[in-house]
């Protein structure tokens, strides 16, 4: 069967060349006579994989030396608790921006551990924009300031980071990881689940400034203490070995294509094709504030739920799958992460034009 164009928000498409490479190495990884799925994480051959992935992360993202790259499990959602447990350790206060469902979940989790202030929310606008922020509302002695940088469900993103001064900025980048260059030095902590743009599910990557480590609350579960993981090269226990291997292959793929600058151009091109079409369409509409539009998750609706459902059904039949919007917002969403080729978006737009003509 031909491969479909998969617009899933996550787990999502992986580059075909990466899948082919993984398939070729499946039974015998580099002459080891075993699959990466089977090997000991304490073996020399696996160490090359995990350290290689870590070093490539540093290289591809240009991560400064005073940051640690940690591989962990439990998904981004586990970090909603790990963040306050590790960093809510001075004043016990933190500021959160509510720009969607994931930041709201993270906020609720954090309120179990300290005094958490909402410094901006776009809930009233159905999260169709990034909230306006006023620096005067920020807590000067907060232990950290939290944002979700790209809102997967609503299709919005921060195009400018809040100026938090000396307060470390913590960002959930699950759905925009590795999609464009980032100035890591502007953040205290960057983290994301890998299954959107980095690797298969099972791996969560945390990038943390070293001086923020070592002050986790005493009741923090050992496995959630970032220092434990950092001190043990992410191998305090068995890491998600295969996802880390896939992550390494994806990083090599990005590097070979010209790095994050090239990814950015590739992604900008794709989202412009889609947004331009939607803006000129009489049937489809993007419900998001223009200046806050995501590059990775493009949401769109027609005038009725029936027509939306018909679109999703017809698109699926034509080989464009997982276009149904998140259950909490309805409509459609095309997630166009790094691995989605330009051709996939061009074909989708052709299909949308045809659908508009016929309906
Ligand atoms: C998908 C997603 C999450 C949740 O990730 P899990 O790995 O399923 O816990 C959190 N934040 C953002 C921005 C996401 O896109």
Question: pLDDT value at position 336?
Answer: 98
294 lines ligand 1 (CB under 6 A): no
216 band by pLDDT with thresholds 50, 70 and 90: very high
329 band by pLDDT with thresholds 50, 70 and 90: confident
pLDDT above 90 for 327? no
Ligand 1: centre distance to CA 175 (Å)? 8
Nearest CA to ligand 1 atom 2: 174
74 lines ligand 1 (CB under 6 A): no
Treating both helix axes as pointing N-terminal to C-terminal, what angle do 241-256 and 44-61 enclose, rounded to 10 degrees? Answer: 40
pLDDT above 70 for 1? no
Which atom of ligand 1 sits closest to the CA of residue 100? 13
Within 13 A of 232's CA, how many CA atoms are on the CB side?
Answer: 18
Domain residue ranges of the chain, discontinuous segments joined by + = 5-13+259-358, 17-256
Question: pLDDT value at position 209?
Answer: 98
User: Which residues have C-beta within 8 Å of that of residue 170, sequence separation ≥ 6?
Assistant: 83, 87, 144, 145, 146, 147, 187, 188, 189, 190, 191
Contact between residue 295 and residue 176 where contact means Cβ atoms under 8 Å apart: yes
Residue to mutate (ligand 1; options 98, 146, 175; most atoms within 8 A of CB) = 175
pLDDT above 80 for 53? yes
Mean model confidence pLDDT for the chain: 97
Ligand 1: centre distance to CA 195 (Å)? 9
- How many angstroms separate the CA atoms of 243 and 250, rounded? 10
223 band by pLDDT with thresholds 50, 70 and 90: very high
Question: pLDDT value at position 179?
Answer: 98
Ligand 1: centre distance to CA 172 (Å)? 8
Question: pLDDT value at position 328?
Answer: 83
Average pLDDT over residues 247-264: 98
Average pLDDT over residues 306-321: 97
Nearest CA to ligand 1 atom 13: 174
Which atom of ligand 1 sits closest to the CA of residue 175? 15
Average pLDDT over residues 194-208: 98
Question: pLDDT value at position 287?
Answer: 93
> pLDDT digits over 137-196, tens only?
999 999 999 999 999 999 999 999 999 999 999 999 999 999 999 999 999 999 999 999
User: Which residues have C-beta within 8 Å of that of residue 96, sequence separation ≥ 6?
Assistant: 103, 106, 107, 110, 116, 117, 118, 119, 145, 146, 147
pLDDT above 90 for 2? no
**What letter does residue 156 receive in the DSSP assignment?**
E
Residue to mutate (ligand 1; options 10, 11, 158; most atoms within 8 A of CB) = 10
174 lines ligand 1 (CB under 6 A): yes
149 lines ligand 1 (CB under 6 A): no
Question: pLDDT value at position 340?
Answer: 98
Taking the model in full, what pTM does it have?
A: 0.98
Question: pLDDT value at position 173?
Answer: 98
75 lines ligand 1 (CB under 6 A): yes
For 5-13+259-358, CATH number out of 3.90.1150.10, 3.40.920.10, 3.30.365.10, 3.30.2020.30 equals 3.90.1150.10
Average pLDDT over residues 273-301: 97
The CATH number that domain 17-256 falls under is 3.40.640.10
Residue to mutate (ligand 1; options 12, 76, 97, 195; most atoms within 8 A of CB) = 76
């Amino acid at each position: 069967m031909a491969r479909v164009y998969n617009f899933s928000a996550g787990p999502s498409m992986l580059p075909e060349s990466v899948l082919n490479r993984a398939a070729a190495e499946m039974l015998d990884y580099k002459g080891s006579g075993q699959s990466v799925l089977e090997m000991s994480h304490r073996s020399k051959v696996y160490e090359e994989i995990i350290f290689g992935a870590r070093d490539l992360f540093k290289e591809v993202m240009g991560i400064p030396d005073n940051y640690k790259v940690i591989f962990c499990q439990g998904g981004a959602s586990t970090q909603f608790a790990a963040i306050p447990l590790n960093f809510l350790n001075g004043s016990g206060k933190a500021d959160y921006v509510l720009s969607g469902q994931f930041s709201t979940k993270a906020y609720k989790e954090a309120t179990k551990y300290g005094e958490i202030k909402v410094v901006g929310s776009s809930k009233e606008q159905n999260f169709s924009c990034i909230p306006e922020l006023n620096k005067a509302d920020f807590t000067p002695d907060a232990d950290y300031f939290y944002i979700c940088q790209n809102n997967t469900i609503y299709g919005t993103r921060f195009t400018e980071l809040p100026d938090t001064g000396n307060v470390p900025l913590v960002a959930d980048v699950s759905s925009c990881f590795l999609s464009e260059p980032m100035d890591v030095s502007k953040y205290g902590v960057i983290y994301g689940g890998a299954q959107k743009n980095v690797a298969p599910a099972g791996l969560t990557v945390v990038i943390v400034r070293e001086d923020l480590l070592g002050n986790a609350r005493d009741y923090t579960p050992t496995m959630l203490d970032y220092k434990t993981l950092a001190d043990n090269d992410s191998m305090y226990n068995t890491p998600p070995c295969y996802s880390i291997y896939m992550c390494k292959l994806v990083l090599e793929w990005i590097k070979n294509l010209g790095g994050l600058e090239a990814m950015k151009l590739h992604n900008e091109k794709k989202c412009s094709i889609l947004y331009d079409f939607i803006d000129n369409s009489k049937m489809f509409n993007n419900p998001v504030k223009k200046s806050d539009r995501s590059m990775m998750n493009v949401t769109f609706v027609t005038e009725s739920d029936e027509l939306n459902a018909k679109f999703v059904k017809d698109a699926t039949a034509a080989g464009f799958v997982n276009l149904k919007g998140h259950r909490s917002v309805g409509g459609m969403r095309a997630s166009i992460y790094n691995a989605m080729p330009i051709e996939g978006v061009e074909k989708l737009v052709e299909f949308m034009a045809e659908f508009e003509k016929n309906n």
